[in-house]
């Protein structure tokens, strides 16, 4: 395999498996952690992190706080530490209650972040685990909005690849389940999530991206408007709002 092909594989994996948490500028606090360097947002002028919309009440604060912090820190070692801890907590919950939908979804979020942010065998293991957890969630709860959102993003990610990279991804990187990906399936899942959980900013933003990719700019701008009109409650939501504003400006030619 050529170096350029390997590079495209890495790009695909990162783009395809990125999930709800995105890069932002704020950091949250403060459940206990073995990872050094936790910083409180209190008094800093940054966004104070409340429970984000993606984190159902049943999802442990020990998980979502670590996910939020890992998604915004620029310290790669601390990020890895936070995500390892979050995965351990989430797996313990799944082991304790195998039929807990929220436990499996929390684990899917963590695995998605690890697949996005890490490399080598860890990336492959996490990506495989993400797909497995999404299947479990949708089997237990076929109307789980956030799981549909993640599945829609996976399909959209495949459709954004060139044909060579798509072949490598679906034949060599364990993504065979997505070999039949389509824009229609991506839209079905993303639109389902947006309709069922409109309070989640990321649902509107990713649907807007799909509309832009499929040349429906009026619908894309409408969804971006939904992002920008809603209150921001966490560092990740602030990052989504910033991305939506940049995309809106780009589409308007400003």
Q: What is the pLDDT of residues 129-182, one digit of tens each?
A: 887 899 999 999 999 999 999 888 878 877 887 777 667 666 655 566 667 778
Residue 68 lies in a domain: yes
DSSP structure string for 142-166: TT-HHHHHHHHHHHHHHHTS-HHHH
Residue 71 or 17, more confident: 71
Residue 233 lies in a domain: no
How far apart are alpha carbons 217 and 196 in whole angstroms?
A: 22
Residue 167 lies in a domain: yes
Residue 86 belongs to what domain range?
A: 3-179
pTM value? Answer: 0.72
Alpha-carbon 38 to chain mean position = 22
Question: How many domains are contained in the chain?
Answer: 1
Residue 207 lies in a domain: no
Res 41: pLDDT: 37
Res 36: pLDDT: 54
SS3 state of residue 119: coil
Query: Among residues of the chain, what percentage have pLDDT more than 90?
Result: 41
The pLDDT tens digits for 84-112 are: 999 999 999 999 999 999 899 999 989 88
Q: Are 104 and 137 in contact (CB under 8 A)?
A: yes
Residue 212 lies in a domain: no
Cα–Cα separations (whole angstroms), residue 19 to 2, 37, 148, 172: 28, 24, 12, 22
Residue 230 lies in a domain: no
- Judged against a pLDDT cut of 90, whether residue 205 lies above it is answered with yes
Query: Among residues of the chain, what percentage have pLDDT more than 70?
Result: 73
Res 206: pLDDT: 96
Residue 184 lies in a domain: no
The pLDDT tens digits for 7-52 are: 444 433 344 444 333 323 333 333 455 675 444 333 333 344 677 7
Q: What is the mean pLDDT of residues 206-235?
A: 94
Residue 198 or 29, more confident: 198
- Judged against a pLDDT cut of 50, whether residue 245 lies above it is answered with yes
Rg (CA), the chain: 18
Residue 24 lies in a domain: yes
């Amino acid at each position: 395999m050529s170096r350029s092909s390997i590079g495209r594989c890495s790009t695909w994996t990162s783009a395809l498996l990125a999930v709800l948490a995105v890069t932002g500028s704020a950091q949250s606090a403060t459940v206990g952690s073995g990872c050094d360097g936790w910083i409180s947002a209190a008094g800093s002028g940054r966004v104070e992190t409340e429970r984000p919309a993606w984190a159902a009440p049943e999802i442990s604060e020990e998980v979502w706080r670590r996910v939020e912090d890992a998604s915004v820190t620029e310290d790669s070692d601390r990020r890895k530490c936070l995500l390892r801890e979050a995965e351990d907590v989430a797996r313990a919950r799944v082991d304790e209650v195998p039929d807990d939908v929220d436990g499996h979804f929390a684990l899917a979020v963590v695995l998605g972040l690890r697949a996005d942010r890490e490399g080598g065998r860890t990336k492959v293991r996490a990506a495989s685990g993400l797909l497995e957890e999404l299947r479990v969630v949708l089997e237990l709860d076929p109307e789980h909005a956030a799981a549909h959102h993640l599945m829609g993003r996976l399909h959209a990610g495949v459709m954004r690849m060139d044909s060579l990279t798509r072949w490598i991804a679906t034949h060599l990187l364990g993504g065979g389940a997505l070999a039949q990906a389509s824009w229609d399936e991506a839209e079905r899942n993303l639109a389902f999530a947006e309709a069922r959980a409109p309070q989640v900013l990321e649902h509107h933003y990713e649907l807007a991206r799909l509309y832009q990719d499929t040349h429906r700019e009026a619908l894309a701008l409408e969804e971006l408007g939904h992002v920008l009109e809603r209150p921001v409650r966490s560092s990740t939501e602030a990052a989504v709002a910033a991305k939506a504003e940049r995309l809106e400006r780009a589409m308007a030619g400003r």
